[in-house]
Amino acid sequence: MKKLLFNPFQRERKERDLDDELRFYVETLAEEKTRAGMSPDEALRAARIQLGGIEQVKELVRDVRPGAWLAGFLQDLRYAARRLWNNPGFAVVVVLSLAVGIGANTALFSVLNAVLLRPLPVAHPEQLFALSNPLSRSSVKNIFSYPMFERMRKVAGNNGIAAMSRVADVRVLVDGDRDPEPHSAQLVSGEFFRLAGLSPALGRMIGPEDNRTGGGQPVAVIGYDLWQRRFGGSTGVLGRGLALNGSHFTIVGVAPAGFTGMWLESRTDIWIPLVMQQAVRYSQNFSAMNSNPDKPWMDQEGILWLNLIVRTKAHAVALDTVFRQSVAQLAESIGDPEIRRLTLRQRLSLDPVAQGFSNFLRRRFTGPLFALMAVVALILLIACANTASLLLARANRRQGEIAVRLALGAGRGRLIRQLLTESFLLAAIAAAGGLAFSNAASELLVRGTLGTTAGPTPFSTSADGRILGFTIALSALTTLLFGLVPALRATRVDLESALRAGARGVREGARVNTQKLLVVSQMALTLILAVGAIWFADSLRNLANVRLGFDQEHVVTVWINPQSAGYASERLPELYRRLVDGVEAVPGVRSAAVAMCGLASSCRDISDIKIAGYDARPGEQVLVQENRIGPDYFSTVGMRLLAGRNFTGRDTKDAPPVAIVSESLARRYFPGGNAIGRRFGYTDTGAKADTEIVGIVGDARVNSAREEPPLMAYYPMQQGTVYGGSLEVRVTGDPAARMAEIRNAVRKVDRNLPVTQLTALSEQVSGNLRQDRLIMWLTSTFGLLALGLGCFGLYGVLSYAVARRMGELGIRLALGAPESRLFRMVFGESLALIAAGLALGLPFVFAASRVVSGILFGVKVNDPVLLGLAALTLTATAALTAFFPSRRASQVSPITALRYE
């Protein structure tokens, strides 16, 4: 180590010593030869030859010095920097195109990292597992009841298992404040923080003592960000009071910095004990069977609402036993033997949850992220190909210099290293630039996809070790990709002929082949991107033109939450009547109707029904999505009743239960077209088929424009009043113009009724497609960008190829070849390369089609017309690109051409 450190300072002395040492060798030899009768000059020459070149030997000795690598590298770096400085145009073009490539890759990787890879900031996240019930017949497979959690806790021990609710939006009123603020809160069992290994930044965490029902005062732990932002990071925050959805809590602690919750898509601000479920009226993502969701959930076996996590799989078998015992008990009450059999098959599964939970983000974005990642990777590849061809051209101009340096004793390895250092410097500058803009780009990407306009994004994409490692590895790979082949080619020089002035010493054939290969692969890459761009553009168009089945224009949706305002269910019919009357009194409002689930929202209620007279196969489930709606709902949202009757005022609580079903449900289960008058009931509740179908309504994409219309059953609100989520209002003219008045009308009905927001239905629908549109837009835009880059590279390579052949072309001309034949020759060769590229790219296109077909919307990926169009466009563009160099080739004057030599 000492030697290595001192080496640079002693370099001069070492060089002098080496000089002396070798001179002694040569001079002694020469002296002997003179003594033997040679002339002094001749003797010196002979001695030098015997040594094998002073400079060569010196170079070999330098290579074995300690730290030689570093010293050589620094020297190469200085040299490379000087060369780039002298050729700024080249440097700027290369650095910019590489920076775009590396930056885009890093930005996407940052998002990918945050969504898929980054572990939770808890102790040993890899040891955490979430419990799930993969064979559950319900649509949610990872939630459990509180009594089940208690039984499992007995087996796994107090430090082995923890329970938590989903993250809910709550209204928080800090003591002393006037207006409540929206925040997000999660209910956790007392074991949660201990299991996660999280210690408080201040105060204490929620602990096992907070599990007790009733006892003590309600406590809350707030997140670090909220503490800093809202309470200025003051220690006085402990003991402060706040009301969550009207229920009072005392702040007892602050969660550690960096921990933003267990869910990828929602940053959690506040944690409270599970026992407070009823007090804050938490009612989200649950599945209820033979139970009453209006009563406290803690002691109800039939309400599944808790995500459970365990540390280590140690108790997996014991937990499964507990779970199966409960299932067996439940199965006793099931009548249908096949369903009982399927229920008894259920088992517990432990899934890794090191990266935290995710509702939809991970599932929905993984595919699109990889598709985008592939596109930006292709962009980088094209940038590499462009750079490689530029470097090849440059190497050609440098061959004289390289030959001289080889002759002076530079080893080929050393020269390759030097050329690669130059490439590395380019890549490193580009990487630094790319890294700088990728941070902003990835945040923009997340904001764009999630529609987060203000406030922090639910998860951060900021650079961490993994991203930095990715960028460094990417730059190194990039360097090798675009630098290695030119460096190898440049240093493969036939010394003798290269040194002869003006002669071409390079192995011409090899270099031209490299270039042809570049053209072909660039064409292949460009084809993939062109087809991709067309796919995604087509997809965007289809998405915009999809038939929704309802009329999204001129409708305002008012999102209400009567539950968190504390309405008892008996008072709901009265509230709904007054709301509809109040809003319909607003000028410009044509009609209004309440619904349990708003359109194009994540609200969906799915049930397993039993249709009288329909012979279900053993174990077959008839799953329908349901909505409960007020009068005039269909006309308000513009759905068409196709047969039967609408709900009327006579469909009251005491009248026989009725339903209106969607067209596809009617067609599927009543193929004879006789749905009206038929009855169905719920499988869960004793299967008494007493609900009569009175009407058929048109299919509608109620969940999202992307999703096929679900099989729907609508029920009248009067026959089973539930907490409504939306009030749909049809207006004349621009919905935005009516919003303020509608909001006022709602407020007049009840000042305390929280109105989450007002949206135009058309915006709600398109907001839902924001992710899809953004990803499709990005992919097609990136595709076009890459197409441009590809053509640019093609042009460069072709012009260069023509320039290299000037001599040959000149001779052909001089020998009497007509211009047209020269043109045909050069152009024909280019066309052949283009065709080869297309042929090479096609299999990749088919492979890509299989990967992205899930992301696309209504696109026939292997449509020959579409593929033909892409190939034709590309051929035309490339042919145009090749046209100019070819014409230049045919118009060359023999004299200029021969002077080229």
Partner 1 sequence: MEPAELLPGTLDLLILKAISLERLHGLGISRRIEQMTSGTFQVKPGSLFPALHRMENQDWLASEWGESESNRRAKYYRLTKSGRRQLEAEKVRWDRVAVAIAQALQAS
Among 8, 16, 27, 832, binds partner 1 (CB under 8 A): 27
Helix H or strand E segment including 108: helix 88-112
Stretch that binds partner 1, among 18-26, 99-107, 121-129, 820-828 (CB under 8 A): 18-26
Among 5, 10, 15, 28, binds partner 1 (CB under 8 A): 28
Stretch that binds partner 1, among 49-57, 293-301, 779-787, 814-822 (CB under 8 A): 49-57
Q: To which residue do tokens 């200085």 refer?
A: 78
Among 5, 6, 21, 618, binds partner 1 (CB under 8 A): 21
Among 17, 126, 338, 496, binds partner 1 (CB under 8 A): 17
As measured in angstroms, the least distance from the Cβ of 456 to partner 1 is: 56
User: Applying CB under 8 A, does 31 fall inside the site for partner 1?
Assistant: yes
For residues 626 and 74, what is the distance between their CA atoms, to the nearest angstrom?
Answer: 71
* Long-range CB pairs of 5-11, under 8 A, 24+ apart, other chains included: 7/65, 7/66, 7/67, 7/71, 8/67, 8/71, 11/71
Residues 274-333 that bind partner 1 (CB under 8 A): none
**Residue among 21 and 401 whose Cβ is closer to partner 1:** 21
Two tokens, residue 267: 């940053």
Report helix angle 54-64 to 40-51, nearest 10: 30
Residues 6 or more apart in contact with residue 115 via CB below 8 angstroms: 264, 358, 361, 362, 365, 366, 369, 459
For residues 164 and 151, what is the distance between their CA atoms, to the nearest angstrom?
Answer: 16
**Residue among 66 and 698 whose Cβ is closer to partner 1:** 66
Residues 215-234 that bind partner 1 (CB under 8 A): none
Residues 6 or more apart in contact with residue 86 via CB below 8 angstroms: none
CA distances from 410 to 15, 21, 402, 407, 498 (A): 17, 20, 9, 7, 16
Stretch that binds partner 1, among 28-36, 125-133, 529-537, 610-618 (CB under 8 A): 28-36
User: Applying CB under 8 A, does 744 fall inside the site for partner 1?
Assistant: no
Stretch that binds partner 1, among 14-22, 157-165, 262-270, 341-349 (CB under 8 A): 14-22
Classified as helix, coil or strand, 822 is helix
For residues 506 and 219, what is the distance between their CA atoms, to the nearest angstrom?
Answer: 80
Among 25, 90, 567, 792, binds partner 1 (CB under 8 A): 25
User: Applying CB under 8 A, does 3 fall inside the site for partner 1?
Assistant: yes
Among 66, 588, 644, 657, binds partner 1 (CB under 8 A): 66
Stretch that binds partner 1, among 16-24, 155-163, 682-690, 749-757 (CB under 8 A): 16-24
For residues 415 and 408, what is the distance between their CA atoms, to the nearest angstrom?
Answer: 12
Stretch that binds partner 1, among 26-34, 175-183, 414-422, 520-528 (CB under 8 A): 26-34
As measured in angstroms, the least distance from the Cβ of 18 to partner 1 is: 8
CA distances from 209 to 250, 311, 474 (A): 15, 20, 51
Q: Give which of 533, 586, 567 is closest to 752, Cα–Cα.
A: 567
For residues 346 and 144, what is the distance between their CA atoms, to the nearest angstrom?
Answer: 13
Max Cα separation, the chain?
Answer: 133
DSSP 117: I
As measured in angstroms, the least distance from the Cβ of 23 to partner 1 is: 9
Among 46, 51, 377, 840, binds partner 1 (CB under 8 A): 51
User: Applying CB under 8 A, does 52 fall inside the site for partner 1?
Assistant: yes
For 457, left (φ over 0), alpha (ψ -120 to 50), or beta? beta
User: Applying CB under 8 A, does 412 fall inside the site for partner 1?
Assistant: no
User: Applying CB under 8 A, does 573 fall inside the site for partner 1?
Assistant: no
Classified as helix, coil or strand, 598 is coil
**Residue among 57 and 173 whose Cβ is closer to partner 1:** 57
Stretch that binds partner 1, among 19-27, 148-156, 242-250, 647-655 (CB under 8 A): 19-27
As measured in angstroms, the least distance from the Cβ of 78 to partner 1 is: 24
605 in Cβ contact with 611 (< 8 Å): no
Question: What mask, x for binding partner 1 by CB under 8 A, covers residues 496 to 535?
Answer: ----------------------------------------
**Residue among 24 and 69 whose Cβ is closer to partner 1:** 24
**Residue among 56 and 762 whose Cβ is closer to partner 1:** 56
| Cα 116 → chain centroid | 8
User: Applying CB under 8 A, does 174 fall inside the site for partner 1?
Assistant: no
374 in Cβ contact with 848 (< 8 Å): yes
As measured in angstroms, the least distance from the Cβ of 71 to partner 1 is: 14
Q: To which residue do tokens 């997000």 refer?
A: 184
For residues 734 and 732, what is the distance between their CA atoms, to the nearest angstrom?
Answer: 7
Among 8, 15, 16, 20, binds partner 1 (CB under 8 A): 20
User: Applying CB under 8 A, does 10 fall inside the site for partner 1?
Assistant: no
CA angle, 582 then 588 then 592, to 5°: 45
User: Applying CB under 8 A, does 825 fall inside the site for partner 1?
Assistant: no
DSSP 21-78: HHHHHHHHHHHHHHHTT--HHHHHHHHHHHHT-HHHHHHHHHHHSTTHHHHHHHHHHH
For residues 703 and 700, what is the distance between their CA atoms, to the nearest angstrom?
Answer: 9
As measured in angstroms, the least distance from the Cβ of 61 to partner 1 is: 5
Among 34, 38, 45, 57, binds partner 1 (CB under 8 A): 57
**Residue among 2 and 397 whose Cβ is closer to partner 1:** 2
Classified as helix, coil or strand, 52 is coil
Stretch that binds partner 1, among 27-35, 282-290, 860-868, 884-892 (CB under 8 A): 27-35
CA angle, 517 then 519 then 522, to 5°: 105
DSSP 209: G
**Residue among 21 and 734 whose Cβ is closer to partner 1:** 21
**Residue among 64 and 865 whose Cβ is closer to partner 1:** 64
762 in Cβ contact with 552 (< 8 Å): yes
Among 38, 46, 61, 77, binds partner 1 (CB under 8 A): 61
Helix H or strand E segment including 760: strand 755-760
Stretch that binds partner 1, among 57-65, 158-166, 576-584, 777-785 (CB under 8 A): 57-65
Among 34, 45, 46, 56, binds partner 1 (CB under 8 A): 56
Q: Give which of 573, 657, 687, 570 is closest to 294, Cα–Cα.
A: 570
**Residue among 55 and 620 whose Cβ is closer to partner 1:** 55
Among 65, 492, 516, 590, binds partner 1 (CB under 8 A): 65
As measured in angstroms, the least distance from the Cβ of 39 to partner 1 is: 19
For residues 770 and 450, what is the distance between their CA atoms, to the nearest angstrom?
Answer: 8
As measured in angstroms, the least distance from the Cβ of 793 to partner 1 is: 43
For residues 495 and 774, what is the distance between their CA atoms, to the nearest angstrom?
Answer: 56
**Residue among 23 and 770 whose Cβ is closer to partner 1:** 23
For residues 519 and 837, what is the distance between their CA atoms, to the nearest angstrom?
Answer: 7
As measured in angstroms, the least distance from the Cβ of 43 to partner 1 is: 14
Two tokens, residue 393: 């051209």
For residues 588 and 609, what is the distance between their CA atoms, to the nearest angstrom?
Answer: 40
User: Applying CB under 8 A, does 22 fall inside the site for partner 1?
Assistant: yes
As measured in angstroms, the least distance from the Cβ of 417 to partner 1 is: 17
Among 29, 404, 488, 623, binds partner 1 (CB under 8 A): 29
Determine the residue type at 253: G
User: Applying CB under 8 A, does 60 fall inside the site for partner 1?
Assistant: yes
Q: How many residues bind partner 1, per CB under 8 A? A: 22
Among 10, 39, 50, 235, binds partner 1 (CB under 8 A): 50
Q: To which residue do tokens 């039984």 refer?
A: 151
CA angle, 884 then 886 then 891, to 5°: 95
Residues that bind partner 1 (CB under 8 A): 3, 17, 20-22, 24-25, 27-29, 31, 50-52, 56-57, 60-61, 63-66
